[in-house]
Structure 1
Amino acid sequence: MSGLPREVLKWLQSLDLTHSVKNTRRDFSNGYLVAEIFSWYYPQDIQMHSFVNGTSIERKMGNWQQLERFFQRHQLGIAKERVDGTIHCKPGAAIALVEQVYTLLTNRKVRKLEKTPNDFTDSSYQSQLPSYARSTASQAIKNNIAITELTTQPDRIVSMQKAQNIVDTHVEHRRQEREHNPERFGIRAGDSLSPRHATGGAEPKSVKDSKQQESQEHNTEGSSAVKEVEVSQPSKPAAP
């Protein structure tokens, strides 16, 4: 399933593209079909012999660099985040980009019931799953940071920031789960919702036991008195 609205699919079919759209993420990731779409409306600016229908990251980046220069020259307002998301096959990115291209070239708005998310992660899909089936923090990073992103963006600081944003989102979702369904996590009234960031309530049993043991040891040391021991010296023998 392409995931595109019906009117957008009919419009794409009318353009007689090289191949039909079956998988939106895969089919638009290299930019070749996007270039072919614009070549129908800007034949003088988009020459298809300059684009390669390949799957390697080098081919993809080469095609999209040409398209981005074209977008800037004509001030089309296609966001860099949507382009990057399409290149790296992020969820919803290719659909959002194609819908924007449809609106730009046909002056018609897409009728949609749901708004397309701008973060291009699987958070909307994860929210539909039951709590026990959702990804862990490490799995969320793996799902939302593609290998091609690390290849095209070698800056480790940027990659760490992306990973941290994903972890922060995951922690916030877990906090909301604890708040809305405390019974599942065994949280009683007055207990802290987050054991890592306690804001009140009873202390964990292990911490309480440790404190009690330290207090007992301290009291024992303080109450023990030091007793002096007198040692009698042996008397010297009398002189003969």
Structure 2
Amino acid sequence: MDYSPPKKRSRLPREVWKWLQSLELAISPRNIRRDFSNGCLVAEIFSWYFPEDFSLHSYHNGVSLGTKQSNWSQIEKVLVKRRISLMKESINGTIHCKPGAAEALIQEIYTLLTNRRIQTVQEEALDFSDQSYQEHLPMVARATASKAIKNNLRLSEELAENNISTTQSKIHNIIHRHVELRREERIQNPPW
């Protein structure tokens, strides 16, 4: 099986790729965001360290939101039993395929299971929005408020959240962040 890193540039450090390769996973991860979102590969990784707790036949390799939530619920139950906790933001970001979330989760798992520290993720605050990307764009190319909502709120997040007021709150926060960014731009560049 080919375990070379994917052609698309990933933010996983080389040592983490080597570790993933050493586990000889059933499916070679190609698209980190997609391949780890349903939890099957995460369960397989944990099964190498805790084989008695993770029976891989009970995890389904599907892409529906229900399948993802079911798999992650099983994983979280076993981790609670083992007194292992993963950051909820990383798990939710991974489920909803947020940029950088799966990479952060994999590095967190790597750190937990190998007792090795990685400089890249542990020192950075987790932010799965497109704000840093937008800040690097010229002002005329930056997203509008409606595009910011579309970029930062996945449909699967809306479907997973049963409470409409929580979804509205997320939308309000995205718009507020967008307005604040525009306000800062105008202060920094008054003639524009």
Pairing of 1:157-236 with structure 2 (within 5 A): 157-184=165-192
RMSD of the TM alignment (CA)?
1.5
Matched, 1:143 2:151: yes
Q: Among 15, 21, 26, which residue is 1:13 paired with? A: 21
Q: Among 114, 120, 124, which residue is 1:106 paired with? A: 114
Q: Note the alpha carbon deviations across 1:170-222, whole angstroms, 9 max, x for none.
A: 111111101111111xxxxxxxxxxxxxxxxxxxxxxxxxxxxxxxxxxxxxx
The residue number in structure 1 matching 2:69 is 61
- Does the CA contact (< 8 Å) of 2:104 and 2:121 recur in 1? no
- Does the CA contact (< 8 Å) of 1:2 and 1:21 recur in 2? no
Matched, 1:85 2:85: no
- Does the CA contact (< 8 Å) of 1:3 and 1:24 recur in 2? no
Q: Among 31, 36, 45, which residue is 2:44 paired with? A: 36
Query: Relative contact order, CA 8 A, sep 6+: which one is greater?
Result: 2
Distance of aligned partners of 1:43 and 1:114 in 2 relative to their CA distance in 1, 3 Å threshold: closer
The residue number in structure 2 matching 1:134 is 142
Distance 1:114 1:76 in 2: 17
Q: Unaligned stretches of 5+ in structure 2?
A: 1-8
Distance 2:41 2:10 in 1: 14
Shift of 1:168: 0.9
Identity among equivalent positions (%) equals: 52
Distance of aligned partners of 1:145 and 1:113 in 2 relative to their CA distance in 1, 3 Å threshold: closer
TM-score, with normalisation over the residues of structure 1? 0.73
Matched, 1:155 2:160: no
TM-score, with normalisation over the residues of structure 2? 0.91
The residue number in structure 2 matching 1:26 is 34
Distance 1:32 1:80 in 2: 17
Q: Note the alpha carbon deviations across 1:23-71, whole angstroms, 9 max, x for none.
A: 1111110001000000000000001011011111111111000011122
Letter of the 1:70 counterpart: V
Matched, 1:73 2:116: no
The residue number in structure 1 matching 2:4 is none
Q: Unaligned stretches of 5+ in structure 1?
A: 185-240
How many matched pairs? Answer: 184
Q: Among 77, 87, 97, which residue is 2:105 paired with? A: 97
Q: Secondary structure at the match of 1:183?
A: coil
Letter of the 1:22 counterpart: R
Letter of the 1:126 counterpart: Q
